[in-house]
Amino acid sequence: MKVMKFGGTSVGSAERMKHVASLVSASGPTFVVLSAMSGTTNTLVEIAGYLYNRNPDSAIETINRLEVIYNSHLTKLYATDEWRNTTREFLHEVFDSLRALTRQPFGQVEEKILLAQGEIMSTHMMTNYLHEQGIPSVLLSALDFMRLAAGGEPDLAFIKEKLGELMKAQTDAPLYITQGFICRNAYGEVDNLQRGGSDYTASLIGAAIEASEIQIWTDIDGMHNNDPRIVDTTTAVRHLHFDEAAELAYFGAKILHPTCIQPAKYANIPVRLLNTMEPQAPGTLIDNNRDAGSIKAVAAKDNITAIRIKSSRMLLAHGFLRKVFEIFESWHTSIDMICTSEVGVSMSIDDTRHLGEIVHDLKKYGTVTVDLDMCIVCVVGDMDWENVGFETRAMQAMKDIPVRMVSYGGSNYNISFLVREEDKSRALRALSACLFEN
Ligand code: ADP
Ligand code: ASP
Ligand code: MG
C-alpha cells in the first residue's frame, strides 16, 4: 500500500478536490492524507489571534466569512443535494463549535482544537465526494491514532499498533482517508505537528504501515536545483538522498517539511514529490541511495546573523568552545553554521530574539563583532571528502563575491557559504552557471 499526501494547494478548490479524487481512485490500495484547503489554517490562526486579544466580534466575523466560502465550495463539489446537504450540516456543526469557542475562555487547549478543524473539514468533504461518486473509501480520524509521547515527539509504536487495529476493522477498503497535521498529545488533548505538518503525518503513517512509497503531492514540480524565483535555468531534481533532501529542506527549499524526512528515512521507505497539476511528470524521488560524486542543488536561507568572538585566551585553551556554546544554549538559540580558527570562532544564527543578551554574555570571553542581513547559500550533493574537484568549482563560482564564512565537512552532503543578503542572487546565479550549466 502507498501513502499519498495532498497539500493545501492540491485541495484548495472544488475542482482541485475532484481532481485529487480521480487521482486516488485510480491508484489502487492507498492511504490518503489531506491538508486543510489552502488559506484555511492561516484563517484559523487569525481567529485564534482575535480570541487571544479578547476580540470575539472579529473572530465571529472571520468564522462566518469562512463558512460562506466553504458553502460555495460545497455548491460546486457535489452533484446531488443529498451529499451537499449532509456535508453542509457537518460543516455547520464545525462552524458552530468555532462560534462556541468565542463565548468561553480561550487558551492553548482551545487553540489546538480550533486549528484542527481545517483538516477535519477537508477530509469530510473529500470522503463524502468519493461516496457520492461510488468510490469505496473509509475516513479514519487521525485523532484516534496519531499520538505524541510525553516528550512531544510522535509515539510511533502507539501509532503503528492503533492504526493496525483500525485498518484491520476495515479490511475491504481500498482507500483510507485521514487528516494531516492533527494529533493528540500524551494527555489525550487535541494537538498538532506544527505548521506544514501534514508531510510529517504522511511520513509517520508510511513508516507505521510499512508503505511501499510515500507520495507528497503539491503544486510545484518537485525539488528544483536552484531557486526558480531567482534563476531562470532551474531544472527539477529527479533523485535525492534523504540526507540531501534534509539539507535542502533546512536551507530554504520549503517544498518538504524537514522533520518529515526522518520516519521515512529510518523505515527506508522512498518518498516521491509529485505535481498535482502534472500527474504524469516523474517528480523527485528521495531514498537512501547515493549518486556518487553528483552535485544536486543550491539553496539559500535569508535573515542570518553572523557573530564572531575573537580571543587570544582561546589559543591552546580547552573548554573555550563549551563556554561559548553554553551562552547560546542558555538563550535557547540554535547555531546554524560554525567556523573556528585558533584565535576566533564565527557562528551564524537565524533567531535574533536574544541577540543582545548573547552578545553581552560573549563579551566576557573576547571581542565580539556582529554582521546582520547575511544569507547562507548551500550547495548540496554527494560531497564525500574523497571526491575531488567540487569544492574548487563551488569556490570558483564565488570568486567575485565577498564570503564571510565557509563550512564544509559537517556532513557528506553540504558545503555552505555565508554571504551578504544583497549578494544572494548573484551567488545563486554564479553557482548555477558553474555547477549546472556546462
Ligand atoms: P502544499 O501544502 O500543497 O505544499 P501550501 O498551501 O502549504 O501547499 O503552500 C505552499 C506554497 O508554497 C505552494 O503554493 C508552493 O508552490 C509554494 N512553494 C513551496 N516551496 C517553494 C519553493 N521552494 N519555491 C517556490 N515556491 C514554493
Ligand atoms: N494545514 C496545516 C498548515 O497549513 C498543515 C499542512 O498543510 O501541512 O500548516
Ligand atoms: Mg501545506
* pLDDT bracket for residue 149 (50, 70, 90): very high
Which ligand neighbours the alpha carbon of 36 most closely? 2
Query: Is residue 251's pLDDT more than 90?
Result: no
What pLDDT score was predicted for residue 318? 82
Which residue CA neighbors atom 2 of ligand 1 most closely? 7
Lowest-confidence segment of 112-116, 200-204, 308-312, 346-350 by average pLDDT:
308-312
What is the rounded average pLDDT of the residues 234-259?
85
Is residue 195 lining ligand 2, measured as CB closer than 6 Å? Answer: yes
- Classify strands 344-349 and 338-340 as parallel, antiparallel or unpaired: antiparallel
Is residue 12 lining ligand 2, measured as CB closer than 6 Å? Answer: no
What is the rounded average pLDDT of the residues 244-251?
87
Alpha-carbon distances, residue 103 vs 42, 52, 57, 97, 99 (angstroms): 21, 12, 10, 10, 7
Question: Among 11, 43, 179, 198, which residue has the most ligand 2 atoms within 8 Å of its CB, making it the best to mutate?
Answer: 198
* pLDDT bracket for residue 83 (50, 70, 90): very high
- Closest among 411, 402, 436, 39 to 251, alpha carbons compared: 411
Is residue 254 lining ligand 1, measured as CB closer than 6 Å? Answer: yes
What is the rounded average pLDDT of the residues 219-236?
89
What is the rounded average pLDDT of the residues 341-367?
95
What pLDDT score was predicted for residue 360? 97
Quickly count: other Cβ atoms within 10 Å of residue 384's Cβ: 12
Is residue 178 lining ligand 1, measured as CB closer than 6 Å? Answer: no
Query: Cα(282) to centroid of ligand 1, in Å?
Result: 18
Which residue CA neighbors atom 3 of ligand 1 most closely? 7
Query: Cα(198) to centroid of ligand 3, in Å?
Result: 7
What pLDDT score was predicted for residue 254? 66
Question: Among 122, 254, 276, which residue has the most ligand 1 atoms within 8 Å of its CB, making it the best to mutate?
Answer: 254
> Taking a C-beta distance cutoff of 8 angstroms, is the pair 92, 38 a contact?
no
| 37-70 per-residue burial string, b: 16 or more CB within 10 A, e: under 16 | bbebbebbeebbebbeeeebeebbebbeebbeeb
Is residue 218 lining ligand 2, measured as CB closer than 6 Å? Answer: no
What is the rounded average pLDDT of the residues 259-287?
93
Is residue 10 lining ligand 1, measured as CB closer than 6 Å? Answer: yes
Is residue 40 lining ligand 1, measured as CB closer than 6 Å? Answer: no
What is the rounded average pLDDT of the residues 62-69?
98
Share of the chain above pLDDT 70, in %: 98
Is residue 270 lining ligand 2, measured as CB closer than 6 Å? Answer: no
Query: Is residue 253's pLDDT more than 70?
Result: no
Span 279-313, pLDDT tens digits: 999 999 999 999 988 999 999 999 999 999 998 87
Query: Cα(210) to centroid of ligand 3, in Å?
Result: 24
What type of residue is 6?
Answer: F
Residue that is written with C-alpha cell 527506508 in the block: 268
* pLDDT bracket for residue 185 (50, 70, 90): very high
What is the rounded average pLDDT of the residues 319-334?
94
Is residue 197 lining ligand 2, measured as CB closer than 6 Å? Answer: yes
Question: Among 17, 23, 218, 257, which residue has the most ligand 1 atoms within 8 Å of its CB, making it the best to mutate?
Answer: 218
> Taking a C-beta distance cutoff of 8 angstroms, is the pair 284, 237 a contact?
yes
Is residue 197 lining ligand 1, measured as CB closer than 6 Å? Answer: no
What pLDDT score was predicted for residue 81? 97
The overall average pLDDT reported for the chain is 94
CATH (one of 3.40.50.12160, 3.30.2130.10, 3.60.70.12, 3.40.190.10) for 295-436: 3.30.2130.10
Residue that is written with C-alpha cell 489571534 in the block: 49
Which ligand neighbours the alpha carbon of 219 most closely? 1
Query: Is residue 370's pLDDT more than 80?
Result: yes
Question: Among 6, 41, 111, which residue has the most ligand 2 atoms within 8 Å of its CB, making it the best to mutate?
Answer: 41
Give the residue extent of every domain in the chain.
2-219, 295-436
| 221-239 per-residue burial string, b: 16 or more CB within 10 A, e: under 16 | bbbbbbbeebbeebebbeb
What pLDDT score was predicted for residue 375? 97
What pLDDT score was predicted for residue 311? 87
Share of the chain above pLDDT 90, in %: 83
Which ligand neighbours the alpha carbon of 9 most closely? 1
Q: What pTM, to 2 d.p., does this model score?
A: 0.88
Query: Cα(223) to centroid of ligand 1, in Å?
Result: 11
> Taking a C-beta distance cutoff of 8 angstroms, is the pair 238, 296 a contact?
no
Query: Is residue 316's pLDDT more than 70?
Result: no
Per DSSP, which regions of 200-278 are E strands?
A: 214-218, 239-241, 271-275
Q: What is the CATH number of domain 2-219?
A: 3.40.1160.10
> Taking a C-beta distance cutoff of 8 angstroms, is the pair 250, 294 a contact?
no
Alpha-carbon distances, residue 354 vs 65, 68, 298, 331, 372 (angstroms): 39, 43, 30, 6, 14
Contacts of 427 (CB under 8 A, 6+ apart): 300, 375, 377, 397, 398, 401, 417, 419
Is residue 200 lining ligand 2, measured as CB closer than 6 Å? Answer: no
* pLDDT bracket for residue 257 (50, 70, 90): confident
What pLDDT score was predicted for residue 386? 87
Lowest-confidence segment of 14-23, 248-257, 392-401 by average pLDDT:
248-257
Q: Where are the alpha helices (DSSP H) in 102-137?
A: 108-132
The larger pLDDT score, comparing residue 168 to residue 116, is at: 116
Query: Is residue 315's pLDDT more than 70?
Result: no
- Closest among 7, 2, 1, 3 to 256, alpha carbons compared: 7
Which ligand neighbours the alpha carbon of 260 most closely? 2
Which ligand neighbours the alpha carbon of 119 most closely? 2
What pLDDT score was predicted for residue 170? 83
